Every structure is written in structure tokens, then in C-alpha cells.
Amino acid sequence: MIRKVLVFEPKKCIGCRLCEATCVMTHFNVTNPEKARIRIIRDPNLQMDLAFYCHQCSKPPCVDACKFNALSINPDTHAIIVNQENCVACRACIQMCPHGAIQMDPTSEHVLICTTCEGNPACVKICPEKAIQYVNIERADHVYKSTLVEVMAQNTKQND
């Protein structure tokens, strides 16, 4: 199976937050945005929306940080899987995530991490502007670099 990852292009995002709503409905069948495994935050300085979600790191520090064997890697999708029975809510994984993608479930004592919906992400299907995509990891590297260069250029213009 070709390894795929989620990528987000802020310039395409219109801030509708349908990805958040769909995520919560897909996993919990409720309308509580605090349970979303993807979060959209408006950056007023950049004047764009940014997404916080699991980037499926090649060597995920969150898995290594968990001393209770609550986190593992899905061999097919490379998504992080949370074993809720083992999770003691110590938050070590949250502290180690370099993307700010892990959060506590507000109604239970375990962490929330994107599972990519078992390789068929609902957030990707619902996004009207295709701001979030599930792509081959080699393509993701190109998208990330392009987006990073654009954001850095905007920051440079704002600081002039």
C-alpha cells in the first residue's frame, strides 16, 4: 500500500470548519467541535485559517512518549491508534507532538488523534475547496514546501 498523509493548504481554506463537524459526526455522532481530531484556527496576523491535525510522522514522538502502550501505529495507514483502555490521560503524547495535533477528549479520559478514518478521511471528502487532501507522501512533501515558502514570504512582507 502506498503511504498517504493528510496535507492542508491554508490559501484554499475558507474557514467553514466543515472538516471539524464531519470529523466529530463520523467518530462520535455528536455536534461537539471540541471532539474534532482536526481543528481550524484563524490566524489574524496572516489573515488565513490554519489546520491542526496529525501529520503521521515517520517516527512519531507521541508513540515513544507513551509509557502505557496506549499508542500504536496502524500498519496500513500509518495513523496513530489510541488504545483507550491503556490511556491514563498523562498527556505525555500531547507535550511531545510537534504539530499540536493531539488533544484530550473533553468527555472522557483519553486522547484524540486523527485516524485518517482508516485511510478514507471524511474531512477530505467534505472540504468544498479541497484545502485538505489525502495524498501520496511524496506529493505531500511538495505541497508542504510550497505552502511553507508562501507563508514565509507573507511574513517577510508583513515585517517590512
Query: Residue 27 belongs to a domain with what CATH number?
Result: 3.30.70.20
C-alpha dist (Å) from residue 23 to 12, 40, 70, 124? 19, 12, 21, 10
Which domain covers residue 140, as residue numbers? 4-159
The number of folded domains in the chain is 1
Cell of 116: 485518517
pLDDT in tens, the chain (160 residues): 688 999 999 999 999 999 999 999 999 999 999 999 999 999 999 889 999 999 988 899 999 999 999 999 999 999 999 999 999 999 999 999 999 999 999 999 899 999 999 999 999 999 999 999 999 888 776 555 545 445 555 555 555 5
CA torsion 29-39-84-67 (nearest 10°) is 180
CB atoms within 10 A of CB 23: 26
Q: Give SS3 for 77.
A: coil
- CA pair distance 120, 79, nearest whole angstrom: 11
- DSSP H helices, the chain, are 18-28, 61-65, 92-96, 122-126, 137-159
Stated pTM of the model = 0.84
| Residues 116 and 140 sit within 8 Å (Cβ to Cβ) | no
